[in-house]
Amino acid sequence: MFNSYISKTRKSRVLYEKAKKLLPGGVSYAIRHFEPYPFYTVEAKGSKLYDVDGNEYVDFWLGHTALILGHSPPTVVEAVKNQLEKGTHYGTSHELEAKLAEKIVKFVPSAEMVRFTNSGTEANMYATRLSRTFTGRSRIAKFEGGWHGGYDALHTGVRYPFDVRESAGLTSGVLQDTIILPFNDLERVRERLMNEEVASVVIEPVLGAGGGVPAEKEFLKGLRELCDDNGTLLIFDEVITGFRLALGGGQEYYGVTPDITVLGKILGGGFPIGAFCGRKEIMKRIDTLLYERPHYSFHGGTFAANPISMTAGLATLKNLEDGQLISRLNNVGAEIRKQLTEIFKAEDVDVKVTGAGSLFNTHFTKEEVKDARAASRADKKKLVDYHLSLVTNGVFFLPTHNGALSAAHSEDDIEKLFSETAKYARQCKAT
Ligand SMILES: Cc1ncc(COP(=O)(O)O)c(C=O)c1O
């Protein structure tokens, strides 16, 4: 498979050799690397990526799952073009920030007030700080396999083994303040938090980097009650699930309302964004007109609420607001999970397909995948082979990460995913 990929991607290889000398690891984000080297995209339209060698890929990675309308959707491009003429970055107040905040408040059950950032990482960082401000507590908790970006306090317990530091440069002081909890196991969470006073518990309604594992509804409900009993704020990191599982994100999908919600990806319509929102009494702790130093919780940034991201976000939400697209994509997602399971089963390859709504993830394992531990026990080599087999044949996603659907995916695109998967499954059985 390596040889076939290499012979199709010669120009990419040259670009990669050059990039390796300039960017550590040759990439701008380690997860974008795969062996033998990543292909180099020159154009993206609809459901497709095109690389420098002229190869076409049906894209299920969708810019880290951000592009629910596909690449360069005409309505978003048009709106952004118009905005470009009026200014790229004001650094002042402008109406678009209130307009997008208004939409978030309308759609997201937990949102009464909003602040914008440039990334999900930043939004999680400020949300964590806000939870500490509001509760007056220092410690926080997150889940095994939970990915909330590279902010020190949350950059722990992401990959198995969960007790190995995720990065050098994290201080013991920071890490000691973060408790790592087992996912989908309420009893053990209750035990672990029994004698703790934590400011917040942050959870992804569906683990993203942790393997596309949905939280169980009863688990989320129990977690909500536990947080209420302990005076702890519940934070939903909906950077992936926001505007994807439902217009109101995972909280609408599960019927469980957190205190603070973190958003990103889809909200930016293909441009950099993050946001955090929640109840007024909590969000008001950011208000420097109400609270003096050191009682307010700082948030800000040069590009916060930049007009291009606001415009693209508004144009994107316009396409989602009647709920029809999300509901259609959720149905296709369910069908994909079912079909992929059947395709592997037909060839006696042990696979569990996880995900929810329009997200799907493939694990080469016999066991139920209910947490990131089970996901980590799956056969990684087979997953990497499956990935390279699909990429070589024009279907793209990143191994271990969620595949996602967009409005731009056609029946033929989905059919291609199935036929290439069937090809791999047959090959897998034969070896
Ligand atoms: C659930 C979740 N939270 C936070 C982040 C971090 O967002 P960003 O990459 O925009 O900083 C990500 C990114 O993949 C994510 O999936």
**Mean pLDDT for the stretch of residues 250-279:** 98
Q: Summarize the confidence of residues 180-202 as an average pLDDT.
A: 98
Say what the pLDDT of residue 4 is: 95
- Rounded (10°) angle between helices 74-86 and 307-320: 150
Same fold: 2-60+323-430 with 74-320? no
Average pLDDT, integer, range 4-17 = 98
Residues pairing with 206 in the sheet: 214
Q: Find out whether the beta carbon of 124 lies less than 6 Å from any atom of ligand 1.
A: yes
CA of residue 211 to ligand 1 center, whole Å: 14
Tell me the pLDDT band of 245, cut-offs 50, 70 and 90: very high
CA distances from 26 to 4, 14, 377 (A): 22, 11, 29
Say if ligand 1 is within 6 A of residue 238 CB: no
Average pLDDT over residues 189-195: 97
Task: Mark 251-261 as b/e (b = at least 16 C-beta within 10 Å).
Answer: bbbbebbbbbb
Among protein residues, the one whose CA lies closest to atom 13 of ligand 1 = 149
Q: How far apart are CA 273 and CA 403, in angstroms?
A: 21
Residue 349 CA to ligand 1 center (angstroms) comes to 32
Centroid of ligand 1 to alpha carbon of 147 (angstroms)? 7
- Give the tens place of pLDDT for each residue, 117-158: 999 999 999 999 999 999 999 999 999 999 999 999 999 999
What would the mean pLDDT of 81-86 be, rounded to a whole number?
Answer: 98
Quick check: 45 and 76 in contact, CB under 8 A?
no
**According to CATH, what is the number of the domain 74-320?**
3.40.640.10
Segment 383-403, tens digit of pLDDT: 999 999 999 999 999 988 999
> From ligand 1's centre to the CA of 8, what distance in Å?
32
Per residue in 321-367, pLDDT (tens digit) is 999 999 999 999 999 999 999 999 999 999 999 999 999 999 999 99
The pLDDT assigned to 151 comes to 98
The predicted model gives 299-310 an average pLDDT of: 98
Atom of ligand 1 nearest to the CA of 265: 10
Burial of residue 52 (number of CB atoms within 10 Å: 0-12, 13-18, 19+)? middle
Cα of 240 to ligand 1 centre, how many Å?
A: 7
Top-level class of domain 2-60+323-430: alpha beta
The confidence score (pLDDT) of residue 430 equals 76
Taking the centre of ligand 1 as the mean of its atom positions, its distance from the CA of residue 208, in whole angstroms, is 9
Report the pLDDT averaged over residues 45-65.
Answer: 98
Residue 211 has pLDDT above 80, yes or no: yes
| Ligand 1 touching residue 240 (CB < 6 A) | yes
Asked whether 207 lines ligand 1 (CB < 6 A), one says no
Residue 431 has pLDDT above 80, yes or no: no
**What is this structure's pTM?**
0.98
Domain residue limits, the chain: 2-60+323-430, 74-320
**Residue 64 Cβ contacting ligand 1 at under 6 Å:** yes
- Residues for the chain: how many in total? 431
Mean pLDDT across the chain, nearest whole number? 97
